[in-house]
Amino acid sequence: MRIESEIVHIETDIIEETNITETIEELLRERSFSQLKGMISEMNPADLALIMSELPEKKVAIFFRLLPKDLAAETFVEIDTDMQEDLIHTFSDVELREVFNELYVDDTVDILEEMPAGVVKRILRNTDRETRHVINELLQYPEDSAGSIMTTEYVRLNSSLTVSDALAVIRRSGVDKETIYTCYVTDNNRLVLGVVTARMLLTSSPDKIIEEIMATNVIVAKTTDDRESVVTALQKYDFVALPVVDDENRLVGIVTIDDAIDVLQEEATEDIEKMAAITPTEKPYLKMTAWGLFLSRIPWLLLLMISATFTGMIITSFESSLASQAVLIAFIPMLMGTGGNSGSQSSVTVIRALSLDELRLGDIFRVVWKEVRIAVLCGGCLALACFAKIWLVDRILLSNDEITLMVDLVICISLFITVLTAKIVGAILPMLAQAIKLDPAVMASPFITSIVDVLSLIVYFRVATAVLGI
Amino acid sequence: MRIESEIVHIETDIIEETNITETIEELLRERSFSQLKGMISEMNPADLALIMSELPEKKVAIFFRLLPKDLAAETFVEIDTDMQEDLIHTFSDVELREVFNELYVDDTVDILEEMPAGVVKRILRNTDRETRHVINELLQYPEDSAGSIMTTEYVRLNSSLTVSDALAVIRRSGVDKETIYTCYVTDNNRLVLGVVTARMLLTSSPDKIIEEIMATNVIVAKTTDDRESVVTALQKYDFVALPVVDDENRLVGIVTIDDAIDVLQEEATEDIEKMAAITPTEKPYLKMTAWGLFLSRIPWLLLLMISATFTGMIITSFESSLASQAVLIAFIPMLMGTGGNSGSQSSVTVIRALSLDELRLGDIFRVVWKEVRIAVLCGGCLALACFAKIWLVDRILLSNDEITLMVDLVICISLFITVLTAKIVGAILPMLAQAIKLDPAVMASPFITSIVDVLSLIVYFRVATAVLGI
- Domain A155-270 is found in CATH 3.40.30.10: no
Give the residue-averaged pLDDT of A205-219.
Answer: 90
Burial string for B104-133 (b: 16+ CB within 10 Å, else e) reads bbbbbbbbbeebeeebbeebbebbeeebee
Query: Rg (Cα) of chain A, in Å, rounded?
Result: 31
**Pick from A281, A244, A240, A285: which is nearest to A259 by CA?**
A240
| Distance from C-alpha of B99 to C-alpha of B76, rounded to nearest angstrom | 8
List chain A residues with CB under 8 Å of B230: 10
Mean pLDDT value across residues B90-111: 88
CA distance A229 to A357: 10
Most confident of A222-236, A296-310, A374-388, B254-268: A374-388
Residue in B218, B276, B291 nearest the CB of A8: B218
Q: Give me the sign of the Cα torsion angle A100, A105, A111, A116.
A: positive
Give the nearest partner residue to A445 out of B230, B330, B445, using CB atoms: B445
Partner-chain residue, chosen from A294, A382, A389, that has the shortest CB–CB distance to B377: A294
DSSP string, A30-72: TT-HHHHHHHHTTS-HHHHHHHHHHS-HHHHHHHHHTS-HHHH
Chain B residues close to A315, C-beta within 8 Å: 329-330, 332-333
Q: Is B153 on the interface with A (CB under 8 A)?
A: no
Mean pLDDT of A270-296: 85
Q: Which residues on adjacent β-strands are paired with residue B191?
A: B250
Share of chain A above pLDDT 70, in %: 97
Q: Which of B5, B278, B359 to mutate to test the interface with A (most CBs of A within 10 A)?
A: B5
| Surface-to-core class of residue B278, CB atoms within 10 Å of its CB (0-12 exposed, 13-18 middle, 19+ buried) | buried
- CA dist B41 and B53 (Å) reads 18
**Strands A217-222 and A241-245, bridge-based pairing:** parallel
Contact (CB<8Å) A348/B275 = yes
Best residue in B155, B301, B455 for a mutation probing chain A (most A CBs within 10 Å): B301
For CATH 1.25.60.10, list the domain ranges present in chain A: 14-142
- Give the C-alpha separation, B269 to A138, whole Å: 32
Tell me the one-letter amino acid at A171. R
Candidates A170, A342, A356; nearest CB to B265: A356
- pLDDT attached to residue A17: 57
Going across the sheet that includes B241-245, the strands are A6-9, B217-222, B241-245, B251-256
Count of beta carbons in the 10 Å neighbourhood of residue B34:
10
pLDDT-derived band at B174, boundaries 50, 70, 90: confident
The answer to whether B92 contacts chain A (CB < 8 Å) is no
Chain B, residues 202-261, CB within 8 A of chain A, namely 202-203, 211, 216-222, 225-226, 229-230, 232-238, 240, 242, 245, 249, 257-258, 260-261
CA-nearest of A367, A346, A349, A324 to A418 is: A346
CA A361, CA B375: separation in Å to the nearest integer?
39
Q: Is the pLDDT of residue A380 over 90?
A: yes
| The CATH classification of domain A14-142, taken from the options 1.20.200.10, 3.40.309.10, 3.40.228.10, 1.25.60.10 | 1.25.60.10
| Residue A28 near residue A63 (C-beta atoms within 8 A) | yes
CATH 3.10.580.10, chain A: domain bounds = 155-270
Residue B436 has pLDDT above 80, yes or no: yes
Shortest Cα distance, chain B CAs vs residue A359, angstroms: 8
How many CB atoms sit inside 10 A of residue B50's CB?
18
Contact B218 A249 (CB under 8 A): no
- Between CA A66 and CA A205 the distance in angstroms is 44
Q: What is the pLDDT of residues B335-365, one digit of tens each?
A: 999 999 999 999 989 998 888 888 888 889 9
**Cβ pairs A/B, distance under 8 A:** 442
With 0-12 / 13-18 / 19 or more C-beta atoms within 10 angstroms meaning exposed / middle / buried, residue B279 is middle
pLDDT classification of A5: cutoffs 50, 70, 90: low
Do the Cβ atoms of A416 and A372 come closer than 8 Å? no
* B341 vs A contacts (CB less than 8 Å): 277, 300-301, 304, 446, 449
The burial of A307, by beta-carbon neighbours within 10 Å (0-12 exposed, 13-18 middle, 19 or more buried), is given as middle
Query: With 60 as the cut, is the pLDDT of residue A20 above it?
Result: yes
pLDDT at B12: 63
Q: What is the mean pLDDT of residues B418-446?
A: 89
* Residues of chain A contacting B305 with CB distance shorter than 8 Å: 334, 337-338, 382, 385-386
Residues of chain A found within 8 Å of residue B159, distances taken between Cβ atoms: 3
Q: Of B159, B278, B345, which has the smallest distance from its Cβ to A3's Cβ? A: B159
Out of A134-143, B142-151, B318-327, B329-338, pick the least confident: B318-327
Confidence band for B420, pLDDT divided at 50, 70 and 90? very high
CA distance A155 to chain B (A): 12
Q: Which class for A358: exposed (0-12), middle (13-18), buried (19 or more C-beta within 10 A)?
A: middle
What is the reported pLDDT for B318? 85
Q: Where in chain B is the domain with CATH 1.10.357.20?
A: 308-468
Question: What chain A residue is nearest to B167 in terms of C-alpha separation?
Answer: A202
Per-residue pLDDT, A1? 44
| B166 lies within 8 A of chain A by CB | no
pLDDT at A16: 55
Q: How far apart are CA A220 and CA B6, in angstroms?
A: 10
Q: What band does B15 get if pLDDT is binned at 50, 70 and 90? A: very low
Which uninterrupted H or E stretch holds A218?
strand A217-222
- How high is the pLDDT of residue A15? 45
Residue A383's closest CA among A345, A410, A356, A355?
A: A410
Q: By C-alpha distance, which of B262, B287, B180, B3 is closest to A237?
A: B262
SS3 of B47, please? helix
Closest CB to A10 among B221, B329, B331:
B221
Residue B9's pLDDT is what?
Answer: 76
Instruction: Specify the amino acid at residue B372.
Output: V
Q: Is the pLDDT of residue B388 over 50?
A: yes
Per-residue pLDDT averaged across A449-461, rounded?
Answer: 92
Dump pLDDT digits (tens) for A59-103: 899 999 999 988 999 999 999 888 999 999 999 998 898 888 888
Q: Name the residue of chain A whose CA is nearest to B174's CA.
A: A203
For chain B, residues classed under CATH 1.25.60.10 are: 18-144
- pLDDT of amino acid B18: 61
pLDDT digits (tens, 9 = 90+) for B128-167: 888 888 888 888 888 889 988 898 889 999 999 999 999 9
Q: Is the pLDDT of residue A371 over 90?
A: yes
Q: Which CATH superfamily is domain B308-468 in?
A: SLC41 divalent cation transporters, integral membrane domain (1.10.357.20)
Q: Which stretches within B56-179 are classed as H helix?
A: 57-65, 69-78, 81-90, 93-102, 105-114, 117-125, 129-139, 146-149, 163-173
* Residue A399 zone, left/alpha/beta (φ > 0; ψ -120 to 50; rest): left
Chain A residues with CB under 8 Å of B315 CB are 329-330, 332-333
Which residues lie closer than 8 Å to B1 by C-beta, 6 or more apart?
A: none
Q: DSSP 3-state assignment of B309? A: helix
Calculate mean pLDDT across residues A364-379.
94
CB contact under 8 A, A235 and B261: yes
Set of chain B residues whose Cβ sits within 8 Å of the Cβ of A202: 167, 170-171, 174, 180, 198
Smallest Cβ–Cβ distance between A359 and the set B269, B285, B457 belongs to B285
Is A363 close to B309, i.e. CB distance below 8 A?
no
Are the CB atoms for B181 and B240 separated by under 8 Å?
Answer: yes
Q: How confident is the model at residue B300 (pLDDT cuts 50, 70, 90)?
A: confident
Q: What is the DSSP letter of B249?
A: -
Q: CB–CB of A76/A103 below 8 Å?
A: yes
Distances (CA, A) of A194 to A186, A216, A220: 7, 4, 11
Q: Are A326 and A317 in contact (CB under 8 A)?
A: no
**CB-CB neighbors (< 8 A) of A331 in chain B:** 312
- Percentage of chain B modeled with pLDDT above 70: 97
Task: Tell me which DSSP letter residue B327 carries.
Answer: G
- Decide if A400 and B275 are in contact by the 8 Å CB cutoff: no
Q: What is the pLDDT of residues B35-83, one digit of tens each?
A: 888 888 888 888 899 889 888 888 899 999 999 988 999 999 999 888 9
**Following DSSP, what letter does each residue of A348-396 receive, concatenated?**
HHHHHHHHTTS--GGGHHHHHHHHHHHHHHHHHHHHHHHHHHIIIIIII
* Distance between CA atoms of residues B393 and B391, nearest Å: 6
* CA gap A295, A57 in Å, rounded: 29
CATH match of B18-144 with 3.40.50.80: no
Mean of the per-residue pLDDT values of chain B = 88
Query: Which among A305, A296, A313, A310 has a CA at the least distance from the CA of B412?
Result: A305
Amino acid at B305: M
Phi, then psi, of A250 in degrees rounded to 5: -90, 135
3-state SS class at B469: coil
With residue B188 as reference, give the H or E element that holds it: none
Nearest of A18, A64, A59, A22 to residue A40 by alpha carbon:
A64
Q: Residues 379-438, chain A: which have Cβ within 8 Å of B?
A: 381-382, 385-386, 389, 393-394, 398, 400, 419
